[in-house]
Amino acid sequence: MSRSTQLVVGLALATAAMASPVIAQEDPAKKTQTAKTFWGVSAEKLEYRYSDSDEELAVVEGGAFYGTDELKFHWLFTGEWEEAHNAWETLENQFVAQTPVSDFWDAKGGIRIDTPEGKDRVYGVLGLTGLAPQWVEVDTNLYVSDEGDASVDFEAEYELLVTNYWILSASFETLAAFSEDREIGVGKGLNSTELGLRLSYDLIYRTFSPYIGVVHERKYGDTADLARDSGGSTEDWFAVVGARIMF
């Protein structure tokens, strides 16, 4: 090897050595003295809805996670079962990886697979979830479907402690799409809003908290038109009864 080559190789090796991370000291106690991985199963909504137009629905929103403080894998499930059609009006399975980006906020990314009654869709998901000041829980996601359609959802929830066991939660959800997807009834622009007010009671720790409440759903613009065309309603009030699960 020529002198200059030696020099270059030597420099390269030296740089590589400096750039390589300091090998953390082997410390077996880091395994024995630390609780590192966690898991949980929960259902925010597990309810029966009865609308002012005699519509009956069962709604499930829940999931499970596994991971560490730095990286958690979530499976999130959303489902709406319609009594009348005996079918899942909504059936979404999300698989996302979630990681903290600040003290109170996490970023997440993954896929969402929709397999309801009707057309299937697969979406890429990019989201942000966390706790905003004044204790407002926020969850917002950007979805891009396999057909190229993008949409955004935004959810905010606030819990008011009537007592330490009776909790009144107010929720606001909205969905907006950047482009139309007629096959699944999605119009361009603001699609829908859902407002909910639920009064729950922590019956068994926070593991099982039954609740009753009221939900208002409304569709807008093109989405409303599409709904009317297929014989559905564009505005509904529901009485709901259900339970929150956290384990």
CB of 36 to another protein, least distance (A): 7
Question: Residues in the site for another protein, rule: CB under 8 A?
Answer: 24-25, 27-36, 38-40, 42, 69, 100, 103-104, 131, 133-135, 160-165, 205-206, 246
The answer to whether 180 and 157 are in contact (CB under 8 A) is no
Is the CB of 54 or the CB of 103 nearer to another protein? 103
Is the CB of 6 or the CB of 37 nearer to another protein? 37
Is the CB of 1 or the CB of 23 nearer to another protein? 23
CB of 105 to another protein, least distance (A): 10
Residue 96: CB atoms within 10 A of its CB come to: 23
CB of 168 to another protein, least distance (A): 8
CB of 183 to another protein, least distance (A): 38
Is the CB of 25 or the CB of 86 nearer to another protein? 25
Written in H, E and C, the secondary structure of 76-109 is: EEEEEEECCCCEEEEEEEEEEEEEECCCCEEEEE
Angle, CA 130 vertex, CA 125 and CA 134 arms, to 5°: 145
Q: Residue 178: is it exposed, middle or buried by C-beta count within 10 angstroms (0-12/13-18/19+)?
A: middle
